[in-house]
Amino acid sequence: MKVKHFLQFNDLSKDELEYLFERTRLIKQKFKSYQQYWPLTDRTLVMIFEKASTRTRLSFEAGMQQLGGSAIYLNTRDSQLGRGEPVEDAGQVISRMSDIVMIRTFEQSIIERFAANSRVPVINGLTNEYHPCQILADIYTYIEQRGSIQGKTVAWIGDSNNMCNTWLQAAEILDFNVHVSTPPGYEVEPERAGLYGHEHYEEFKDPMEAARNADLVTTDVWTSMGWEAENDERLKDFADWQVDEDMMAVAAPDALFMHCLPAHRGEEVSAGVMSSPQSVVWEEAENRLHVQKALMEYLLLGKIK
Ligand code: CP
Ligand code: NVA
C-alpha cells in the first residue's frame, strides 16, 4: 500500500481536509475535558529539525504523547544529517525505527527525497517553500471563530514566503480568495508555490487595497529562516508593508488578524494589532496541537468510523 505523506497542502483533498477539521474538533474537545485518548499507543514519532522551532516541536511532541505515543527529537547539529549522510539513506534508516516522521528543513526537494525513501508517513514541519501544518491550524482557527472559509477573502501582506505559498494552495482546494501584496521584487512565484491556476488570488501593489474588505488579514516575518543575510535590505524594502491599526480599519468590520509567530512587533505588525480583539494569534498557536493530533491519527490509522 502507498504510504500517505503530508509534504504540501495539496497532498490532502477537500474531503480529507473536512474530515481532519471535524476530527480536530473532537480531539480538542477530549483534551479540554481531560479525557484520555490514546489511539497511537506504542507509536513513535521522529522529529528532525534543521531549523529552529518552538511551536512546531512542542505541538508535535506534546501531541504525540497525548495520543499515547512517544516522540524523539533529532537535529542537524547532533546527528549524521549535519555531516553529509545522504538524505535518502536517512529516510531508509529512520523510517525502519519509527512509525511517523516530521521534518523541518530547507528546500522542499530534501523532504521529498526523504519521503521517497521512507516506509512511514512524512509530515512537512516547514520548508523554504511551504508550511502546511500552520495553514491547517490557521484555517481551523478561522472556521472555529467565523464558520466556513469558502468564498471568504484572506489578505496576505508582506513576503511571498512559505506561509504565503501555502495559503495560495489552500485557496485552490477550499475555494476562497487570497489578496496578496508584496513589495516589488518579492512577488509570488506560481511554480514555486505549487499553483495550478490564478483563479483564487489577486496581487495588489498597495497593501491597503489588498486588505480592503478582507475577512482575514495575515502576515509573517519579513526575513524567514535561511534568508538572514538579506535582513538589512528587507527591513528597508518592507517598511510600508506593516499590518497596523489603519490597515485593519479598512478590512471587514469583523476581520480577524493572524500571524504564525514568532512575530516582530514594529516590523510586519504593530504591537496594537497583535493585542487587539481582532487578533487570534494565541488560538492559532494552540490549534497547531489539535490539528496535528488529527493529522497524525489520520496518517497512521486512516478515517475513524
Ligand atoms: N509557527 C511556527 O512554526 O513556529 P515555530 O518556528 O516556533 O515552530
Ligand atoms: N516564514 C517563517 C515562518 C516561521 C514559523 C520562516 O520560514 O522562518
**Nearest Cα residue to atom 1 of ligand 1:** 260
Q: Please check whether residue 227 lies inside any domain of the structure.
A: yes
Please give the single-letter amino acid code of residue 212.
Answer: R
Question: pLDDT tens digits for 112-124?
Answer: 999 999 999 999 9
Q: Please check whether residue 3 lies inside any domain of the structure.
A: no
Residue 288 appears among annotated catalytic residues? yes
Query: Is residue 4's pLDDT more than 80?
Result: yes
Residue 229 has what DSSP assignment? Answer: G
Q: Please check whether residue 99 lies inside any domain of the structure.
A: yes
Q: Please check whether residue 147 lies inside any domain of the structure.
A: yes
Question: pLDDT tens digits for 8-40?
Answer: 999 999 999 999 999 999 999 999 999 999 999
Q: How many domains does the chain have?
A: 2
Q: Please check whether residue 2 lies inside any domain of the structure.
A: no
In what side-by-side order are the strands of the sheet with 44-49?
Answer: 70-75, 44-49, 100-104, 122-124
Considering the domain architecture, whether residues 92 and 225 belong to the same structural domain is answered as no
Residue 62 has what pLDDT? 98
CB 5 within 8 A of CB 11: yes
Considering the domain architecture, whether residues 97 and 178 belong to the same structural domain is answered as no
Considering the domain architecture, whether residues 143 and 274 belong to the same structural domain is answered as yes
Which of 156, 154, 163, 161 is CA-nearest to residue 134? 163
Residue 197 has what pLDDT? 85
Phi first, then psi: what are they for 162, rounded to 5°?
-55, -35
Residue 206 has what pLDDT? 98
DSSP H/E element including 123: strand 122-124
Which of 38, 9, 284, 25 is CA-nearest to residue 123? 9
Q: Which of 134, 169, 242, 292 is labelled catalytic? A: 134
Nearest atom within ligand 2 for CA of residue 163:
1
Residue 6 has what DSSP assignment? Answer: B
Query: Is residue 253's pLDDT more than 80?
Result: yes
Residue keyed to cell 516575518: 221
Considering the domain architecture, whether residues 175 and 195 belong to the same structural domain is answered as yes
Considering the domain architecture, whether residues 15 and 122 belong to the same structural domain is answered as yes
Rounded to a whole number, what is the distance in angstroms from the first to the last CA of the chain?
20
pLDDT (average), residues 61-90: 95
Considering the domain architecture, whether residues 160 and 240 belong to the same structural domain is answered as yes
Q: Please check whether residue 1 lies inside any domain of the structure.
A: no
For the chain, the average pLDDT equals 97
Q: Please, which pLDDT band fits residue 127 given cuts at 50, 70 and 90?
A: very high
The x, y and z cell numbers of residue 131, run together, are 508550511
Considering the domain architecture, whether residues 43 and 108 belong to the same structural domain is answered as yes
Phi first, then psi: what are they for 141, rounded to 5°?
-65, -40
Considering the domain architecture, whether residues 85 and 204 belong to the same structural domain is answered as no
CATH of the domain at 29: 3.40.50.1370
Residue 198 has what DSSP assignment? Answer: S
Q: List C-alpha distances in Å: 67 to 14, 85, 116, 159, 200.
A: 25, 32, 27, 36, 36
Question: pLDDT tens digits for 195-231?
Answer: 988 899 999 999 999 999 999 999 999 999 999 999 9
Q: Please check whether residue 4 lies inside any domain of the structure.
A: no
**Nearest Cα residue to atom 6 of ligand 2:** 224
Considering the domain architecture, whether residues 142 and 280 belong to the same structural domain is answered as yes
Q: List C-alpha distances in Å: 138 to 23, 28, 257.
A: 15, 15, 10
Considering the domain architecture, whether residues 82 and 191 belong to the same structural domain is answered as no
Which of 130, 127, 123, 281 is CA-nearest to residue 217? 281
Q: What is the pTM (predicted TM-score) of this model?
A: 0.98
Return d(Cα 41, Cα 52) in angstroms, integer: 28
Considering the domain architecture, whether residues 139 and 274 belong to the same structural domain is answered as yes
Please give the single-letter amino acid code of residue 290.
Answer: H
Q: Which of 104, 179, 234, 290 is labelled catalytic? A: 104
Query: Is residue 159's pLDDT more than 80?
Result: yes
CB 76 within 8 A of CB 82: yes
Separation of CA 174 and ligand 2 centre (Å): 23
Residue 108 has what pLDDT? 98
Residue 42 appears among annotated catalytic residues? no
Considering the domain architecture, whether residues 142 and 273 belong to the same structural domain is answered as yes
Nearest atom within ligand 2 for CA of residue 227:
8
Query: Is residue 1's pLDDT more than 80?
Result: no
pLDDT (average), residues 225-238: 98
Q: Please, which pLDDT band fits residue 87 given cuts at 50, 70 and 90?
A: very high
Which residue ranges have their beta carbon within 6 Å of ligand 1?
Answer: 53-56, 126, 134, 260-261
**What is the extent of the structural domain holding 196?**
134-284
Query: Is residue 172's pLDDT more than 80?
Result: yes
pLDDT (average), residues 164-173: 98
Question: pLDDT tens digits for 140-156?
Answer: 999 999 999 999 999 99
